[in-house]
Amino acid sequence: MVVGESGLGKSTLVNSLFLTDLYPERHVPSAAEKIEQTVKIDASTVEIEERGVKLRLTVVDTPGFGDSLNSVDCFKPIIQYIDEQFERYLNDESGLNRRHIVDNRVHCCFYFINPSGHGLKPLDVAFMKAVHHKVNIVPVLAKADTLTQIEVNNLKKKILDQIDEQGIRIYPLPDCDSDEDEDYKEQCRQLKGAVPFAVVGANTIIEVKGRKVRGRMYPWGVVEVENPEHCDFIKLRTMLITHMQDLQEVTQETHYENFRAEKLASGGAGKPRSGKPAVPPPRMENGGGDMSDKERELRQKEEELRRMQERLARMQAEIESKKPQHIQNGELKSQDV
Ligand code: GDP
């Protein structure tokens, strides 16, 4: 899910990430229309292929966020959408056909922060606080090309301090195990150090010194979206691919459990599972406290599987990043993608 004030480059970034044009018939409302505007929920499906493995992702855009004169209620439709997906999952889980549940829960929310402000705005704080127990928030510093490197670093620090002061819980990128290889450990360190990811989006392909790059051309030069010296776009994409499994697990173990606990507390849970705690369990890497042996064994197996899947995703991402540009992007046919 992508959330943030309109005009911060959400649609452009999503198109850059998935190399598609997800919003060909987009209508940008006028100022008059925005006054009364409510937030829309716009879900589209993209298929991405990683080394022959097809992944179906649903991208949820939230146009209208922060647009109207009174933005107090603008995140209600978003919360409602997230809850509806949990509700649907809960119902499916309690139904007969539990093997074929389509998981449409929101596993990740990129929250776009305005680069021209002085850190977080009240709306940013209010939104993140309203959803941090429901979804994995990944803060993103939008339009990073409008800031100098020093400004980016200062703003990132300020945003992190504010997140901390306000008690906002963003998605904690997982620590890697001590037995992982050095390259992976370094990648983890870099990804963690890049939060909030300073991104640049562009839908145009520009030729720079004989190379075709996705970028933004200014009179003084070209900002390359996929150049790690220019912005954190590649880091954001790597994070999404390598931690996709972990994002799903945190959703399952923390946010979904929160939802179920709330439901139980209000007496409306679809099917309470006996013995389950009403508070979210802490994330367990090596098995937890009061579990039966069987449960512990199962957890360890799941953990092993998760690590294997992460390793695989990592290898795929590495191979992907070593491919020449034109292969990574598929055949880019037109100048404007
Ligand atoms: P949305 O309303 O958040 O979906 O924003 P859009 O993706 O429609 O972008 C709004 C405007 O900002 C468009 O003119 C984009 O070309 C421009 N834009 C998008 N991404 C960037 C960026 O990273 N840097 C700069 N400088 N402009 C951007």
Condensed to tens digits (0 to 9), the pLDDT of residues 218-237 reads: 999 999 999 999 999 999 99
Which among 2, 12, 204, 220 is the best mutation to test ligand 1's pocket, defined by most ligand atoms within 8 Å of the CB?
12
Candidate from 126-135, 170-179, 201-210 with smallest mean pLDDT: 170-179
Ranking 212-221, 262-271, 291-300 by mean pLDDT, the lowest is 291-300
pLDDT band at 336 (very low <50, low <70, confident <90, very high): very low
Q: What is the CA(100)–ligand 1 centre distance, in A?
A: 38
Q: Is 278 exposed, middle or buried (0-12, 13-18, 19+ CB in 10 A)?
A: middle
Q: What pLDDT shows up at residue 279?
A: 39
State residue 141 phi and psi, 5-degree precision: -90, 110
Question: pLDDT per residue over 125-166, tens digit each?
Answer: 999 999 999 999 999 999 999 999 999 999 999 999 999 999
Whether the per-residue pLDDT at 277 is higher than 50: the answer is no
> Which residue's CA is minimally distant from atom 19 of ligand 1?
9
pLDDT in the model for residue 135: 96
**Rounded-to-integer distance, Cα 269 and Cα 89, Å:** 12
pLDDT in tens, 307-326: 677 777 777 777 766 665 55
pLDDT of the residue at 8: 93
| Token digits of residue 329 | 């992007």
* Res 108 pLDDT > 90: yes
**pLDDT at 83 exceeding the cut of 90:** yes
> Does the structure show a pLDDT above 50 at 288?
no
* C-beta of 143 in contact with ligand 1 (< 6 A): yes
Is residue 111's pLDDT more than 60? yes
φ/ψ (deg, to 5) at 263: -60, -45
Q: What are phi and psi of 277, to 5 degrees?
A: -70, 150
Give the strand pairing for 2-3 and 109-113. parallel
Regarding the beta carbon of 9 and ligand 1, being less than 6 Å apart is answered: yes
Beta-bridge partner residues of 213: 206
- For residue 120, the tally of other CB atoms under 10 A from its CB is 23
Task: Characterise 128 by phi-psi region: left (phi > 0), alpha (psi -120 to 50), beta (else).
Answer: alpha
Strand order from edge to edge, sheet including 2-3: 42-50, 53-61, 2-3, 109-113, 137-141, 197-198
29 lines ligand 1 (CB under 6 A): no
Which burial class, exposed, middle or buried, applies to 247 when counting CB atoms under 10 A from its CB (0-12, 13-18, 19+)?
buried
Sign of CA dihedral 143, 172, 237, 223: positive
Read off the DSSP letter of residue 144: G
pLDDT, position 15: 86
Tens-digit pLDDT profile for residues 21-64: 656 665 666 665 655 566 677 787 877 776 666 777 788 877 77
Residue with tokens 């800031």: 147
Mean predicted confidence (pLDDT) in 250-255:
95
Average pLDDT over residues 329-336: 42
Q: Is the pLDDT of residue 173 over 60?
A: yes
Whole-angstrom distance between the N-terminal and C-terminal Cα of the chain? 22
d(CA 241, CA 316): 9
Query: What is residue 124's predicted lDDT score, i.e. its pLDDT?
Result: 93
What pLDDT, on a 0 to 100 scale, did the predictor assign at position 280? Answer: 39
Cβ contact 75:127 at 8 Å: yes
What is the distance in A from the centroid of ligand 1 to the CA of 147? 14
Mean pLDDT confidence for 5-15: 89
Q: Is there an atom of ligand 1 within 6 Å of 201 CB? A: yes
Q: Kindly state the percentage of the chain with pLDDT values over 70.
A: 74
Instruction: Report the predicted TM-score, pTM, of the whole model to 2 decimal places.
Output: 0.77
Instruction: Please identify, by atom number, the ligand 1 atom nearest to the C-alpha of residue 142.
Output: 23
CA 116 / ligand 1 centre spacing (Å): 13
d(CA 199, CA 189): 18
> Which atom of ligand 1 is nearest to 61's Cα?
4
Ligand 1 atom nearest to 202, measured from its CA:
20
What DSSP line would sit under 89-106, residue for residue? HHHHHHSS-GGG------
Is the separation of the CB atoms in 1 and 135 below 8 Å? yes
Mean pLDDT of the chain: 80
Q: Containing H/E element for 197? A: strand 197-198
Question: To the nearest whole percent, how much of the chain has pLDDT over 90?
Answer: 40
- pLDDT average, residue stretch 189-202: 94
- Helix residue spans in the chain (DSSP H): 10-18, 31-35, 76-94, 122-131, 149-165, 182-194, 233-242, 244-250, 257-265, 293-322, 325-328
